[in-house]
Amino acid sequence: MVRRAGVALAAAVVSLIVVPLAQASFIVARNASHVRLRVAGTRAIVDYRVGGRPRHVVLWGAIGARFPNPDVPQVEFRHRYGAGFLGGGACRPYEGPPLPLLVAACTAPDGSYWALQSWQRLLPNYGGAHAPWELHASHWRGQPARLEAWLDWSYRRFQHLFGRLTYLGRPVYGFRVTRRGAPLDGYARNVYLDTLDSRYGPGWRRENGFLTHGPTGTFCYGLYPHRGHPSGAGKAYRLTVVGPGVTPIVSWQAEAPGPYDAALDRRLNALQRSLGDPKCRQA
C-alpha cells in the first residue's frame, strides 16, 4: 500500500443500500481522515472517519473506462456504505504508474490497481482558497489517462495554454453539459488550472476550470483578465483532471513560458492547429 499520512480527506451520507453512481467518477467522502484501502477478491474496502466516526464503503463492478459513446453509459462502481470499520481483505504493494495526490493504492490479485486520491477539486475560480477535500476512488489496468499541455502566448503578451486528454490513445470528452460547463454525463471531464505565486496570492491558487472538447479531447485557455479579475499569470501552472470512467486523477505541471518568443510561438501554433480543434484559435 502507498500512503500519504496526515491528510484530511472526504465525507458521505451513510447508506446501506446498493445503488449505482449517477456520474462515473466516484467520490468516497469529503474531509475524511484515517483512510485505509484493502482488496478482497474483485472488491475494494475503504475504511475512513468523518467527524470522528468510523465509516466504510465497499466498491465493485467497474474497471477502467469506455471510449466516448452517446448511446452507452460510462462504467461506474456499484457501492455499499456502512457505519464502522469492516474487516477482511488485504493490500498488496502497489506496482502501478506514479499518481498525483495519492493517499493509498494496492495491486489486486488479478493484477489490476485500486487507488485513493485526495483533491480540492471545487476551489472557487480566480484565487479561491477553500474547498472540501474529496477522496476519489479508482480501479484500472495498465496506464491511466494521459494529460498533455503546452504553454505559448496570446496576442504576444498574454500567456496561453492548450492541450489534450486521452485514454489508451483515444480522446476523452463528453456529450451533455450545462451552459456553465458542468458535466451531465459520465464522459465529460473538466480540467482544472492552478497558478503559482500569481496576483491572487502566494502558493498555488485556482485560476479556472474548462471542459475538454469533442471529438478531439482538446482544450485551450488564455491567462488574460477575465470578467473583472486580474490576469492569473504565475511562475508555474498545474492542470488536474479526473480520469475517464473509474480511472485515477492525473495531472500536469510546468513553469511559465517567459518572455514572448516569436519563433517558438509559431511552432506551437502549428502544433495547436495539428490537434484539429476549431474551438481553439491562435491569436
pLDDT tens digit sequence for 68-83:
999 999 999 999 999 9
Closest residue by Cα to residue 95 from 82, 81, 80, 105: 105
Element (H, E) at 82: strand 78-83
Structural domain boundaries, residue 110: 19-140
Of 94, 119, 140, which residue constitutes the final position of a domain? 140
Closest residue by Cα to residue 62 from 219, 243, 237, 213: 243
Burial of residue 171 (number of CB atoms within 10 Å: 0-12, 13-18, 19+): buried
Tell whether 78 is covered by a domain: yes
Tell whether 190 is covered by a domain: yes
Average pLDDT over residues 201-205: 96
Of 140, 156, 179, which residue constitutes the final position of a domain? 140
Closest residue by Cα to residue 165 from 71, 69, 39, 277: 277
Q: Is it the case that residue 259 has pLDDT exceeding 70?
A: yes
Give me the pLDDT at residue 77, please. 98
Q: Are residues 36 and 60 both part of a single domain?
A: yes
Q: Name the band, by pLDDT with cuts 50, 70 and 90, for residue 100.
A: very high
Average pLDDT over residues 14-20: 31
More confident residue, 125 or 5: 125
Q: Are residues 103 and 150 both part of a single domain?
A: no
Of 104, 121, 140, which residue constitutes the final position of a domain? 140
Domain count for the chain: 2
Q: Are residues 165 and 240 both part of a single domain?
A: yes
Give me the pLDDT at residue 227, please. 84
